[in-house]
Amino acid sequence: MNAVDRSARAWLTHLDVERGVSANTLKAYRRDLARWTAYLTAIGVDDPATVTERHVTEFLARLREGGEEHPPLAASSAARTLVAVRGLHRFLALEGDVEADPAAAVSPPPPPSRLPKAISVSEVQRLLAAAAVGDTPAALRDTALLEVLYGTGARISEAVGLDIDDVDVEAGVVRLQGKGGKQRLVPLGSYAREALTAYLVRGRGTFSGKGRGTPAIFLNQRGSRLSRQSAWSLLRVAADRAGLSGHLSPHTLRHSFATHLLEGGADVRVVQELLGHASVTTTQVYTLVTVQQLREVYAQSHPRAR
């Protein structure tokens, strides 16, 4: 392990112990820094003090171009990797381990302008109905999970991370733990409450009897906490049954949650709180979705629109 590797490990430890970043974020940063340190090793740089802005710029170009070790990265993936690199070298500069931050002036590639994808209310209903096929413990679990995802706008990591104590079904509220360990309380609608109650009463016990007493709400066949990958899989199965296969993901339900709230007249700042966004600017992208839909309705309905 050379000095660059040790510096990367020190920064990851700092993020974990002192900053308390999530395990998923740490995993992503560790993977991104592995690419960075491997690149530096390949070009003969083993000391962070000798890293220059040119090294960072060429590394970013290599990410976008691809090579034998990996295919070309999208702008968003390359930008995320650059965030890890910049974070490492900013940390080293603040700690006094290096004189200057060589990555400070390197800008990430601009992401493509894309609006969040949402599905219609009728398509959400088809998806939820497809998950509820049968009265098995797995069907009860899948239905409850998808109802929670759509009914609360939770991220998939927040939903599978729920414990029994995080949900008060009678009061109709759920405590979600978001990015950076921030918690928020979100109302549970009647459909989500009914689905959760059915699962907790008639389904969860079948799974928990095979495990070691985990407090997790959503369990797999071994009685352990349901993973994000398994949640993706059960969503794909339900989407295929509903004829919605394609790019549907757990985050699609989060986008649909926000879009349908705004279409129903919800204030954007209320939606911001429900989604757990630190800034209302992040939430305002959903208003563009609803304006686009208004334009479509106008174009189809108004006699002078065309």
Alpha carbon distance 65, 67 (integer Å): 7
Asked about 155 being catalytic, the answer comes back as yes
Kindly indicate whether the domain formed by 3-95 is annotated with CATH number 1.10.150: yes
Alpha carbon distance 295, 10 (integer Å): 52
Kindly report each contact of residues 67-70 with a partner whose C-beta sits within 8 Å and lies 24 or more positions away, as own/partner: 69/38, 70/35
* Residue 104 DSSP SS3: coil
Alpha carbon distance 164, 73 (integer Å): 39
**What is 121-299's CATH number, 1.10.443.10, 3.20.20.70, 3.40.50.720, 3.30.1300.10?**
1.10.443.10
Asked about 117 being catalytic, the answer comes back as no
CA 52 to chain centroid, in Å, comes to 33
**Catalytic pick from 55, 86, 225, 254?**
254
Asked about 179 being catalytic, the answer comes back as yes
**Catalytic pick from 70, 251, 269, 295?**
251
**Catalytic pick from 9, 30, 179, 241?**
179
Entry field: residues in the chain: 306
Asked about 255 being catalytic, the answer comes back as no
pLDDT tens, per residue, the chain with 306 residues:
789 999 999 999 999 998 888 888 899 999 999 999 999 999 999 999 999 999 999 999 999 888 777 788 888 888 989 999 999 999 999 999 999 999 999 988 876 666 668 899 999 999 999 998 888 999 999 999 999 999 999 999 999 999 999 999 999 999 999 877 789 999 999 999 999 999 999 999 999 989 888 999 999 999 999 999 999 999 999 999 999 877 788 889 999 999 899 888 888 888 898 998 888 877 887 777 676 766 776 777 777 766
**Catalytic pick from 155, 193, 225, 255?**
155
Alpha carbon distance 157, 179 (integer Å): 10
Contact of 62 with 71, CB cutoff 8 Å: no
Question: How far is residue 306 from each of residues 168, 222, 288, 290, 291, measured CA to CA in Å?
Answer: 51, 59, 21, 20, 18
Asked about 55 being catalytic, the answer comes back as no
Domain locations along the chain: 3-95, 121-299
- The pLDDT of residue 133: 87
CA 262 to chain centroid, in Å, comes to 21
Alpha carbon distance 59, 4 (integer Å): 15
- The pLDDT of residue 72: 87
**Catalytic pick from 126, 204, 225, 277?**
277
Asked about 90 being catalytic, the answer comes back as no
- The pLDDT of residue 115: 63
Angle of helix 3-14 relative to helix 75-95, nearest 10 degrees, comes to 90
Contact of 127 with 146, CB cutoff 8 Å: yes
